[in-house]
Amino acid sequence: MGEEQHANLDAISRALWGLGTTPGQVAAKLKGLGCTGKPMCAVECPVAKYLKHRGITDVGVHAGGAELFYGGFVEAPLAVREFVIAFDAGRYPELEELPAR
């Protein structure tokens, strides 16, 4: 694993831990930052968009954590994992992207 990949994984870990300690805190932080997304879509979920806004591209987020497209995985904190599960189940409709008209 290269230096840049290690740096990205560290940045992802810090970013995920900074979202909060409960799913509700994660949702509130994402909402405050304007990060909306699509349920059941690893590259378009609010957490993936949050990471992209922080300069971390080529990443997908699922209930287990964040995965770089070119290799590497970061296990998400429990609060983020629970948020992703709840978001995918429709429990945070205010964070769902509205379809374009």
The DSSP call for residue 90 is T
Q: Is residue 101 situated within a structural domain? A: no
Position 65 in a domain: yes
Number of domains present in the structure of the chain: 1
Residue 58 lies in a domain: yes
- Helix pair angle (3-17, 46-53), 10° resolution: 120
Strand partners, 66: 61, 74
Domain hosting residue 50, numbered range: 3-95
30-66 residue pLDDT tens: 999 999 999 999 999 999 999 999 999 899 999 999 9
Q: How many CA atoms lie within 13 A of 80 on its CB side?
A: 26
CB atoms within 10 A of CB 95: 21
pTM for the full model? 0.92
